[in-house]
Structure 1
Amino acid sequence: MLPGGPAARAHAMLAALQHVRNWIFDLDNTLYPASADLFGLIDQRMTTFIQTLLGLDWTAARALQKDYFHAHGTTLSGLMAEHGVDPHRFLSYVHDIEMDALTEDRRLVEAVARLPGRKLIFTNGAADYAQRVLARLGLGTSFEAIHDIHACAYTPKPHPDAYRVMAQAFGIDPAESLFIEDMARNLKPAKAIGMTTVWVNNGSEQGREPDDRAYVDYEVTDLGEWLHRILGDEE
């Protein structure tokens, strides 16, 4: 806990982040509440895709999906490695969902707009899906670019190569960058290359490993509130 009242803590935190020139955001369950459960819809379609592809029942398809996620970083990576699945076909299918649960968070939109420096999206999803999400959130014009799974050559977070490729693609110095994610495990490689890390603890990830705090610099529950606080706003 930083010493002093709210204003003193805000100024101290802002000073601690003066080095940040690049603000890098994950997308799903980071820029919108996990309670929207958008990924739950995608998750269901992943299972259905595997059912159809391999002729499995729901339970077997679900188990295989989770095995691929844990072993390969994403379900897609597992399907590509084990079955030669076309990533465009897979992503087009699983991202074909309704987004009615998403609403604009004006405080978050205003905070992102005021951040100094470059602002990027770094996602294991596809850019066209990310653009749809951002438009629903009122953030459609808030980011310089979206670095998606295609740009990563299908090497997903948390594979270290994904972070190096992203940094090289935009010519950014990791030591001048801050990365915000809802999945703690995806912060470890970012911290390893020198990024400041922020874990959005919004209930989207369970079973956090004991060593996670070694690579989590800031833990937040409300991203919009935290951004306003580091910008020095009175709450």
Structure 2
Amino acid sequence: MLARLSHVRNWIFDLDNTLYPARSNLFARIDKRMTRFVADLLGVDDAEAFQVQKAYFLGHGTTLAGLMANHHVDPHEFLAYVHDIEMDVLEEDAPLAAAIARLPGRKLVFTNGDKPYALKVLDRLGLGGSFEAVHDLHAMNLVPKPAASAYQELCEAWDIDPAQSLFVEDMARNLAPAKAIGMTTVWVDNGSEQAPEVDRSFIDFTTADLSAWLHHVLEAE
């Protein structure tokens, strides 16, 4: 184990574009469904709906949070609609599963999606038995990352000491609150980041390939 990570007892992973490559474009299918949902809700064309969708994402953390705040959208209805997609672009990732299995301590998924969707993705990746728990949007009381409360509720729900934890995310801005409470942070820089460039001093490690990085960490002396 890499000496800098010998303190880690809790390995926490985001789901989308983190546990599978962004190049698979699975989230593009969800993105398209979100645009269609907004267009139907507001009675606008796809171009305007897309602008609204992204404004809500940047301003509220997720499109759903913006829709709930401004249009009282039912979160269960929205999530069921946007996650009604085929997952044929995902493949089993045996090397990643093997690396996660070797990590010492607890392993959890921390996602702004919901648990039923997360479980389908994990099964498709061959990671169905890799994690102790999925902490989803409902467990955050529908207040998503990067809200500080989401991280506090994760730690309280699973008795996690942030100082003994590592969090892996593809959205750099979602790592800042984790670092603020003492977590070690890993940014999966794979092109999925949609926020403008910001100060990223809160990032401890950066990788474009999570599986390769984990294997490197495990094999380091």
Q: What's the TM-score bracket when you normalise by the shorter of the two chains?
A: over 0.9
Matched, 1:66 2:54: yes
What amino acid is aligned across from residue 114 of structure 2 in structure 1?
Answer: A
CA distance in 2, matches of 1:90, 1:121: 21
**1:8 alignment partner in structure 2:** none
What amino acid is aligned across from residue 218 of structure 2 in structure 1?
Answer: L
Cα drift, residue 209 of structure 1: 2.1
Matched, 1:218 2:201: no
Matched, 1:107 2:79: no
CA distance in 1, matches of 2:197, 2:102: 34
**1:229 alignment partner in structure 2:** 216
Instruction: Give the secondary-structure state (helix, strand or coil) at the position aligned to 1:124.
Output: coil
Question: Over aligned residue pairs, what C-alpha RMSD do you find?
Answer: 1.3
Instruction: Give the secondary-structure state (helix, strand or coil) at the position aligned to 1:133.
Output: helix
Matched, 1:53 2:60: no
Bigger-Rg structure (1/2): 1
The TM-score, its normalising length taken from structure 2, stands at 0.97
**1:167 alignment partner in structure 2:** 155
Aligned pairs (5 A) from 1:110-125: 110-125=98-113
CA distance in 1, matches of 2:55, 2:194: 16
What amino acid is aligned across from residue 186 of structure 1 in structure 2?
Answer: N
The sequence identity of aligned pairs, in percent, is 64
The TM-score, its normalising length taken from structure 1, stands at 0.91
CA distance in 2, matches of 1:142, 1:188: 26
Gaps of 5+ in 1: 1-10
Cα drift, residue 210 of structure 1: 4.1
CA contact (8 A) 1:184 1:208 kept: no
CA distance in 1, matches of 2:14, 2:100: 13
**1:5 alignment partner in structure 2:** none
**2:126 alignment partner in structure 1:** 138
Instruction: Give the secondary-structure state (helix, strand or coil) at the position aligned to 1:215.
Output: coil
CA contact (8 A) 2:58 2:195 kept: no
